[in-house]
Amino acid sequence: MEIDNVVCAFCGCVCDDITVTVEEGRISEVKNACTLGRAWFLGHSSNAHRPSGTVNGRPVSTEEAVEEAARILAQARYPLIFGLTSTYCEAQKEAIALAEVLGACIDCCTSVCHGPSGIALQGVGEPTCTLGEVKNRADLIIYWGSNPAESHPRHLTRYAVTPKGLFTPRGRKDRRVVLVDVRPTPSARAADIFLQVKPGKDFECLWALRALIKGIDLEEDAVADTGVTLAQLKDLADRMQSCRFGMLCVGQGLTQSRGKQMNTTAVFLLVRELNGFTKFAAMPMRGHGNVTGIDNVLAWQTGYPFGVNFSRGYPRFNPGEFTAVDVLTRQEADAALIIASDPVANLPRPASGRLSQIPTVALETRESETTKIAKVVITTAPAGISAEGTVYRMDNVPLRLRKVLPSPFPSDEEVLSRLLERVKELKHA
Ligand code: SF4
């Protein structure tokens, strides 16, 4: 059976034009997806062989695993809830309710990817648009510190570089593409212009561009240590001012290098000022399928997009204090609930090592480095394959994940809802 208009929730592009073929209870073919999306659908198509749950490596039922998880979390003095970027908003909502009841810290992968973009947004705002506007209108695309050819392959072909739009009827021929990065990447092949910035000098380049578009005369010396010449920056500033609709795509090369939120603040200020000349927008290249969703759901419910602490009974936000890497590295967290994420494989060693020292509960669809060290593992139905819900594309457009395969396992939302009820009972016992 062929199912059309399926949504891929692997990366922040959240492509909603995928066709999957289901045969004998598994996905046998995937059309329109990139290699990453295809591998995601095929790799998740069956996890039925897994146990419903484990406690200390011993297979147990979902109910037993939930009971043990609830006991661990209810007894903890400073529990951490982390992950949530590869599940859907309805499950994220339950996790936030659980964090509030527990007085826990709740954080998501934003704190280790585009947290600095969120901080910049709070400071100066974010001049943004939808990916539909990019496709239909943008004639200048700048990828800065991003390698979409490898991280978001269909960003190039579906939204920003090659697609034909209402005011870009010739597709690629109607656009100029600039890549700014510290080294040439496979994305450079898709660009007309490549500017190689010295590592850690992005802020200086962005600030020089702001000066140039304000008409300030700069000496060559002012940009001498950036790796980019003044002539190159003047050319880019001219292109930015004279395009019809410009788009600056913010990659992790800006948020996770020296400067962090100052880099993204410089981007948003530059783009804000460019709107005095033309229409221009900026957008973080969000990585995981629903990382934008958890930022939104956390912000609706607590006022803050990541790194939220409920230990005083109300939400507090302080990156560096309440973010997962810091809470774990300082050995403050005494229990952890990891949802749809693999921090043991991805967080720095001092933080990930702490997860094997404390009782860790993992809600996961398949084996990962985190499930290997977790005291309790609860197997859940993969979101977007066997569980439906709402996700947010990187441009904050909500899309509905479809269920294309049955699963013997409950969804993240169902498990979190049961966990919440049980923790409430234990807390009030
Ligand atoms: S670009 Fe991202 S969302 Fe689109 S098919 Fe590839 S992995 Fe899936």
pLDDT band at 300 (very low <50, low <70, confident <90, very high): very high
Ligand 1 centre to CA of 329 (Å) is 33
Distance CA 53, CA 47 (A): 12
pLDDT score for 72: 98
Is residue 66 scored above 70 in pLDDT?
A: yes
pLDDT score for 45: 65
Q: Is the CB of 157 under 6 A from ligand 1?
A: no
CA 179 to chain centre: 21
pLDDT score for 5: 95
CA 191 to chain centre: 24
φ/ψ (deg, to 5) at 80: -120, 135
Question: What mean pLDDT do residues 232-252 have?
Answer: 98
Residue 367's contacts (CB-CB under 8 Å, 6 or more residues apart) are: 50
Mutual angle of helices 89-102 and 412-428, in 10-degree steps: 20
Ligand 1 centre to CA of 160 (Å) is 14
Question: What mean pLDDT do residues 358-375 have?
Answer: 96
Neighbour order of strands in the sheet with 58-60: 58-60, 53-55, 376-379, 360-364, 335-339, 79-83, 105-108, 308-309, 316-317
pLDDT band at 46 (very low <50, low <70, confident <90, very high): low
Dump pLDDT digits (tens) for 266-288: 999 999 999 999 999 999 999 99
Ligand 1 centre to CA of 37 (Å) is 5
Mutual angle of helices 261-274 and 202-213, in 10-degree steps: 20
Asked if 170 contacts 28 with a C-beta cutoff of 8 angstroms, the reply is no
67-101 b/e (C-beta count within 10 Å ≥ 16 → b)? bbbbebbbebebbbbbbbbbbbbbbbbbbbbbbbb
| 245, two tokens | 């609709």
Minimal CA–CA distance to 292: which of 78, 114, 151?
114
Dump pLDDT digits (tens) for 68-78: 999 999 999 99
Q: Which residues are bridge partners to 177 per DSSP?
A: 141
Of residues 46 and 380, more confidently modeled: 380
Helix count and strand count (H, E) for the chain: 17, 19
Question: What mean pLDDT do residues 43-53 have?
Answer: 80
Alpha helices by DSSP H, 169-222: 202-213
CATH 3.40.50.300 matches 115-284: no
Distance CA 188, CA 173 (A): 17
Distance CA 206, CA 219 (A): 15
pLDDT score for 304: 96
**Ligand 1 atom closest to Cα of residue 33:** 5
Is residue 15 scored above 90 in pLDDT?
A: yes
For 211-300, list the strands marked E by DSSP: 245-250, 279-284
pLDDT score for 25: 84
Residue nearest to atom 4 of ligand 1 (CA): 15
Asked if 382 contacts 90 with a C-beta cutoff of 8 angstroms, the reply is no
Q: Is the CB of 230 under 6 A from ligand 1?
A: no
| 166, two tokens | 């209402």
Q: Is the CB of 8 under 6 A from ligand 1?
A: yes
pLDDT band at 428 (very low <50, low <70, confident <90, very high): confident
323-333 b/e (C-beta count within 10 Å ≥ 16 → b)? bbbbbbbeeeb
**What residues does each domain of the chain span?**
49-113+290-428, 115-284
Is residue 138 scored above 90 in pLDDT?
A: yes
CATH, range 49-113+290-428: 3.40.50.740
pLDDT score for 44: 75
pLDDT score for 48: 72
Dump pLDDT digits (tens) for 325-336: 999 999 999 999
Question: What mean pLDDT do residues 376-394 have?
Answer: 96
Mean of the per-residue pLDDT values for the chain? 96
pLDDT band at 412 (very low <50, low <70, confident <90, very high): very high
pLDDT score for 330: 97
